[in-house]
Amino acid sequence: MNHLPEDFIFSQSSLQDYVDCPRRFQLKYLLRQRYPAPEVDDLLEFERRMAQGERFHHLLHQHAVGLPAEVLQKRIDDDEVRRWFDTYLANGLNDVPERRYPEYSLTIPLGAYRLLAKFDLLALSDDKALIIDWKTSRHVPRRDRLQKRLQTIVYRYVLAKGGTALNGGQPIPPEQIEMRYWYADHEGQLVSFAYDAAQFEADEHYLTCLVREIEERERFPLTDDTTRCAYCTYRSLCERGITAGPLDEWELDEPTDLDELDFDFDQIAEIEF
Ligand code: SF4
């Protein structure tokens, strides 16, 4: 039986949830179960970090649309956010093409559904298409783990498949695409991933198969990897414990990306395509 609504829009977050735990995907996106339990042990600190991340992203957006850095700097009342913003001014836009699209969303068809990517910044020139994701996390993940993240897979694929309107009506060649994670709390450390036609084809196959698998599923089993449950909001529903995992280890385990947590159902519904 197909559980997916016809107008379902996949994203890197929902696909990552599915890959991490099919049951989490079902609870969150099909049953739309709201959060019964905190995800981490220190909720106040968790919320503070989320608010800092949102503030930082908002500042970068304001800067990208033309507000002067000096004006924005005066408005910052948080020392960490100020330090991140200064770091961004020092090196965040190094080697970034001039044609820039901040907070840009693209959707493309994926099987019978759609796939959405919400980019922090797209920057293009005649021979380069750079995707930047601003990160405020306290830890820089291992490169091999980032490479496997659905965000890395989905963002490059969506731009290659759906970036025609940004490129004079021509598809953007995968070889021109680079995905760059930039870490504000680590002096602008970069983790970058190139792209090519072979990877594009492999990603298309992987994503198409993943969606078909979700579509055809009768049951959505609980993950076997119970370490994921410590940070999962559904652990009481699943009888996988009642204690939230420690915040400081949250980003080490990367159950969810803190910078992506503002991405919710309401935002998805508002995006037209
Ligand atoms: S608590 Fe564990 S099994 Fe249940 S949805 Fe979360 S990750 Fe999956």
- Quote the mean pLDDT of the chain: 88
* CB half-sphere exposure, 178, CA atoms < 13 A: 16
- Which range is least confidently modeled, 28-42, 198-212, 256-270? 256-270
Q: Which atom of ligand 1 is nearest to the CA of 21?
A: 8
Give the Cα separation of 92 and 86 in Å (integer). 9
| Per-residue confidence (pLDDT) for residue 11, from 0 to 100 | 96
Question: CA 256 to CA 13: how far, in whole Å?
Answer: 8
Q: Which residue of 23, 231, 253 sits with most ligand 1 atoms within 8 Å of its CB, as the best mutation to test the pocket?
A: 23
* CATH number of the domain residue 70 falls in: 3.90.320
Instruction: For residue 100, tell me if it sits in a domain.
Output: yes
- CA 62 to mean position of chain CA atoms: 20
- Classify residue 1: in a domain, yes or no: no
Q: Whose CA is nearest to atom 1 of ligand 1?
A: 235
Interval 87-137: pLDDT, tens: 999 999 999 999 999 999 999 999 999 999 999 999 999 999 999 999 999
pTM for the whole structure? 0.88
What pLDDT score does 227 carry? 86
Distance of CA 146 to the CA centre of its chain: 11
Kindly state whether residue 2 falls inside one of the protein's structural domains.
Answer: no
| 23 close to ligand 1 (CB < 6 Angstrom) | yes
Quote the CA–CA distance of 64 and 9 in Å, as a whole number.
28
Region 183-190: mean pLDDT is 97
Task: Tell me whether residue 117 is in a domain.
Answer: yes
Domain hosting residue 230, numbered range: 9-270
Q: How confident is the model at residue 1 (pLDDT cuts 50, 70, 90)?
A: low
The answer to the question of residue 167 being in a domain is: yes
The reported pLDDT for the residue numbered 154 is 98
Mean pLDDT score, 49-75: 94
pLDDT tens track for 205-256: 999 999 999 999 989 999 999 988 888 889 888 988 777 666 666 565 444 4
CB 15 within 8 A of CB 210: yes
pLDDT at 263: 38
Answer whether residue 54 is part of any domain: yes
Residue 29 lies in a domain: yes
Task: Give the phi and the psi of residue 153 in degrees, each rounded to 5.
Answer: -70, -50
Give the total number of structural domains in the chain.
1
Mean pLDDT of 191-205: 98
Higher pLDDT, 263 or 245: 245
| pLDDT, position 48 | 86
Q: What is the Å distance from ligand 1's center to 231 Cα?
A: 9
Ligand 1 centre and the CA of 110: distance in Å?
Answer: 26
Asked if pLDDT for residue 24 goes beyond 50, the answer is yes
Please identify, by atom number, the ligand 1 atom nearest to the C-alpha of residue 20. 7
In a domain, 221, yes or no: yes
230 C-beta closer than 6 A to ligand 1: no
| Residue 245: strand pairing partners | 40
Mean pLDDT of 11-18: 96
What average pLDDT does the segment 188-198 reach? 98
Look at residues 85, 178, 179, 181 and name the one whose alpha carbon lies nearest to residue 141: 181
